[in-house]
Structure 1
Amino acid sequence: MSQELTYEAAYNELQLIAEEIEHEAVSVDVLAEKVKRAAVLIEFCQQKLRATETEVNNIIKQMENNKGTEK
């Protein structure tokens, strides 16, 4: 992929893969390839969510610390 993958793009691709598999639109010949791609996308999304959670928690802590020093 030449452009950077975003969470939204990864999630949308995962949805498409899931739909193809659920509706048996994937041939047996490419099923393993689709499952491997899904695994990569899932890991990417999990990492993005963890990083975002950490960042949000840090911002909240920073806000709480600033609030305490304003008194």
Structure 2
Amino acid sequence: MSDATELAQAASDSDPRTGLRAVAALRRLLEQLESVQVRSARNKGWSWQEIAAELGVSRQAVHKKHGRQ
């Protein structure tokens, strides 16, 4: 079983401490994955607008978050 799958299962744990820790870990993982994919898209010539459309956010938001990478 993958770490992400284990975290997703732990996020629904009946113990709030376990669930909240898993949610926090999933959030960190998601941020890392987003950064990797945005960097990949930029390296392939994607515009900030194209990336923003796929993420469902504004161009300004994605540029502010990832523009320094």
- Structure with the greater relative contact order (CA < 8 A, sep ≥ 6): 1 or 2? 1
* TM-score calculated relative to the size of structure 1: 0.49
* TM-score calculated relative to the size of structure 2: 0.50
* Structure possessing the higher radius of gyration over alpha carbons: 1
Higher helix share: 1
